[in-house]
């Protein structure tokens, strides 16, 4: 694995670390990535992220910095902001959050006082840890109350958001903020309905579109604007940029409060190399082929869900509208756990994560489900046919695992070889551009 001048430089300077990166590059190249929150950033995004911009302190915002020498950094940050605003159709964008969780932290700090109440979906049913988990800042310094999904098999909306419960929780607790947007929810979010409920109780509506940002940008999921007062997201999931966060709003006063809360509230110097890479990714997302990519993301997720259903697995809520699905493994066999499935599939080169299903009786380190997503496989060029093959491989490995170690070992080896062969025919964007490894 040889190749780019940058990696040659690293190999000469630090062979030990270069070797580890090369191994990881080979792992990504030769395995099927089904983790719904992951993707493969483009060579252009990687180039910006690996640039000289990492050398600069640029605390503050364009035109108002605490350090000299920021002339190009002002232009870079302004470009990234402008592209974000164009992409999501909003008035203000803060491109500095180091991550999605830090974007949320800044928004909490800008819109609430410590101890204030906010409403969200609980983590175990698809929420995010920054939406009120006990150990997280959000659950430590604020008071989360949770709405629910429908948990009634006979209900047509089974395992979808229960908007009556959203309303009831808000009426009862009068939260300062109402959060929507999730980490493991396969269905369309009705932002207008959330806003209606938020208005009834005078709450701010915060939409965290970390998972679906790429779909939203491409018009393949309804936009949270103009309904949400504040929108937060990551930039590295379906949006396919560098790891990072982004905060947007149409409200000038909220924008001011958010900017102050992010810096100096929760962060110091911005990661200017990452902000430049965000700008590159937003530029890519503004191009017509990004819409085609996102349409294929949804078609691929639906093809995978349909094929798994055909193999006897239960997909929660009966399917997916977006890039991800939750597979209830107990539909196939009551003894299957997410923990075993994740480990068995990894031996076959299929990378997933265990995830609770709604109302899961098992604890989070075991779970009854797997969360599967299509953004990364779609980036490497897989279409419905490849997704259908993946479903068959998943069933082969899990069926073998149920029989015992001997059968599992054999099936995992066979599938691993077939996975390698398929991956070799669909090289990753960076392998083709030889920008790493």
Ligand X SMILES: *Cc1c(COP(=O)(O)O)cnc(C)c1O
Q: What is the DSSP string of 329-355?
A: GGGT-TT--HHHHHHHHHHTTEE-EEE
- Three-state SS at 315: strand
Please select the residue that binds ligand X; options are 30, 99, 309, 366, rule is CB under 6 A: 99
User: Measured from the CB atom, is 61 or 182 closer to ligand X?
Assistant: 182
User: Measured from the CB atom, is 276 or 412 closer to ligand X?
Assistant: 276
- Three-state SS at 245: strand
Please select the residue that binds ligand X; options are 7, 32, 101, 218, rule is CB under 6 A: 101
Q: Which residues are catalytic?
A: 57, 59, 208, 234, 237, 243
User: Measured from the CB atom, is 181 or 369 closer to ligand X?
Assistant: 181
User: Measured from the CB atom, is 4 or 234 closer to ligand X?
Assistant: 234
Q: How far is CA 46 from CA 274, 276, 431, in A?
A: 9, 10, 12
Contacting ligand X within 61-80 (CB under 6 A): none
CB 104 to ligand X: min, Å? 6
208 touches ligand X (CB under 6 A): yes
- How does strand 324-328 pair with strand 369-373? antiparallel
Window 19-38: contact mask with ligand X (x via CB under 6 A):
------------------x-
- Three-state SS at 178: strand
Contacting ligand X within 120-159 (CB under 6 A): 128, 130
CB 307 to ligand X: min, Å? 25
210 touches ligand X (CB under 6 A): yes
373 touches ligand X (CB under 6 A): no
238 touches ligand X (CB under 6 A): no
Q: Which residues contact 270 (CB under 8 A, 6 or more apart)?
A: 58, 59, 77, 96, 263
Residue 303 neighbours by CB distance under 10 Å: 21
183 touches ligand X (CB under 6 A): yes
181 touches ligand X (CB under 6 A): yes
User: Measured from the CB atom, is 126 or 349 closer to ligand X?
Assistant: 126
Q: Long-range contacts made by residues 424-429, C-beta under 8 angstroms, separation at least 24?
A: 424/30, 426/380, 426/381, 426/382, 426/386, 427/29, 427/380, 428/28, 428/29, 428/40, 428/379, 428/380, 429/40, 429/41, 429/42, 429/43, 429/379, 429/380
Q: How far is CA 399 from CA 114, 336, 402, 404, in A?
A: 50, 10, 5, 9
Please select the residue that binds ligand X; options are 100, 279, 338, 429, rule is CB under 6 A: 100
How many angstroms separate the CA atoms of 344 and 391, rounded? 14
288-310 and 384-403 helices, crossing angle to 10°? 40
186 touches ligand X (CB under 6 A): no
CB 16 to ligand X: min, Å? 28
322 touches ligand X (CB under 6 A): no
Number of residues located near ligand X, criterion CB under 6 A: 15
CB 100 to ligand X: min, Å? 2
Sites of contact with ligand X (CB under 6 A): 37, 99-101, 104, 128, 130, 181-183, 208, 210-211, 234, 245
């Amino acid at each position: 694995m040889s190749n780019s001048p940058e990696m040659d430089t690293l190999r000469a300077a630090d062979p030990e670390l270069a070797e580890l990166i090369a191994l990881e590059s080979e792992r990504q190249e030769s395995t099927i990535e089904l983790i719904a929150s992951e993707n493969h950033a483009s060579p252009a995004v990687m180039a910006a992220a690996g640039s000289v911009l990492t050398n600069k302190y640029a605390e503050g915002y364009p035109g108002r910095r605490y350090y000299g020498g920021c002339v190009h950094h002002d232009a870079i940050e302004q470009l990234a902001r402008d592209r974000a605003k164009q992409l999501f159709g909003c008035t203000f964008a803060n491109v500095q959050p180091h991550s999605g969780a830090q974007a949320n932290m800044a928004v909490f700090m800008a819109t609430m006082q410590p101890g204030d109440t906010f409403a969200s979906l609980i983590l175990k049913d698809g929420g995010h840890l920054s939406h009120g988990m006990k150990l997280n800042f959000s659950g430590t310094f604020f008071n989360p109350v949770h709405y629910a999904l429908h948990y009634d098999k006979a209900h047509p909306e089974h395992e979808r958001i229960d908007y009556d419960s959203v309303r009831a929780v808000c009426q009862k607790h009068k939260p300062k903020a109402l959060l929507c947007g999730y980490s493991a929810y396969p269905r369309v979010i009705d932002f207008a309905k959330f806003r209606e409920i938020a208005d009834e109780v005078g709450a701010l509506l915060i939409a965290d579109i970390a998972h679906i940002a790429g779909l939203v940008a491409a018009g393949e999921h309804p936009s949270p604007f103009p309904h949400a007062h504040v929108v937060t997201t990551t930039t590295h999931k379906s949006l396919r940029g560098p790891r990072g966060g982004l905060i947007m709003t149409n409200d000038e006063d909220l924008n001011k409060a958010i900017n102050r809360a992010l810096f100096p509230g929760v962060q110091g110097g911005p990661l200017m190399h990452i902000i430049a890479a965000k700008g590159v990714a937003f530029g890519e997302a503004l191009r017509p082929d990004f819409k085609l990519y996102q349409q294929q993301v949804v078609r691929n997720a639906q093809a995978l869900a349909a094929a798994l259903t055909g193999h006897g697995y239960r997909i929660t809520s009966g399917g997916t509208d977006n890039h991800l699905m939750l597979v209830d493994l107990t539909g196939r066999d009551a003894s299957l756990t997410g923990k075993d499935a994740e480990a068995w599939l990894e031996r076959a080169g299929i990378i997933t994560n265990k995830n609770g299903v709604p109302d899961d009786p098992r604890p989070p380190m075991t779970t009854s489900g797997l969360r599967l997503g299509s953004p990364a496989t779609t980036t490497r060029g897989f279409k419905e046919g490849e997704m259908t093959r993946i479903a068959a491989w998943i069933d082969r490995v899990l069926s073998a695992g149920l029989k015992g170690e001997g059968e599992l070992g054999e099936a995992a080896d066979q599938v691993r070889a077939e996975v390698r062969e398929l991956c070799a025919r669909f090289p990753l964007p960076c392998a083709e551009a030889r920008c790493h490894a």
